[in-house]
Amino acid sequence: MKCDDHLRAFIAIDISTIIREKITRFQKHMSEVGAHASWIKPINIHLTLTFLGDIPVQSLEIISDIMDDVSALHKSFTCEIKGVGYFGKGKSTRIIWIGFAGDLQGLVSVQMDLFRRIMTTGVHLDNKPFVPHLTIARINPRHHASNIVSLLQPYKENLFGNLSVKDLILYRSELGPNGPSYTEMHRSPLRL
């Protein structure tokens, strides 16, 4: 559904400049050693908490209010950005990701609270289990995913740093010929 009264949106946590730079260097290195994939633009790398899909523009205020309510209940926290992995097996491997480690209780609690509250608004949400990750590449089915998987093995415990999570961000996503572009629509600071 694409019309002026709807927009595509998601709620996310942004990453720091330092972590973004480390991921950029990792993507460049992997590309240089032969990992043929469609690497996500570093500016677009984020942790999606809740993908909202195409929502009515009038629901933005309700979603923003929910974000403010949730952020007022949760303290800021720190996550460890660690590990490289992939979704899919064998030839069906399609996504390369960087993971989250350590104490994830704060992260999971915020995500569950957001999810439950947004569900009450009538916005249809994907009910897949929440797996915190940063998508850094998509693998074209024509490329040999098994080669890429073997190139990732030495980095499965790679540490990218600690991320201090202070805000929940509502983004608008617009798909274009050069990939998606994201525009911040609302920001809710977590308690200090």
Q: Which fold has domain 6-189?
A: Cyclic Phosphodiesterase; Chain: A, (3.90.1140)
pLDDT by residue (tens digit) across 62-89? 999 999 999 999 999 999 999 999 988 7
pLDDT by residue (tens digit) across 94-128? 899 999 998 899 999 999 999 999 999 988 888 88
Q: Could you give the 3-state DSSP secondary structure of residue 59?
A: helix
180's tokens: 């998606």
Angle between helices 60-73 and 105-119 in degrees, nearest 10: 150
Cut 0.95: pTM above it:
no
The C-alpha R_g of the chain, in whole angstroms, comes to 17
Q: Could you give the 3-state DSSP secondary structure of residue 77?
A: strand
Domain boundaries in the chain? 6-189
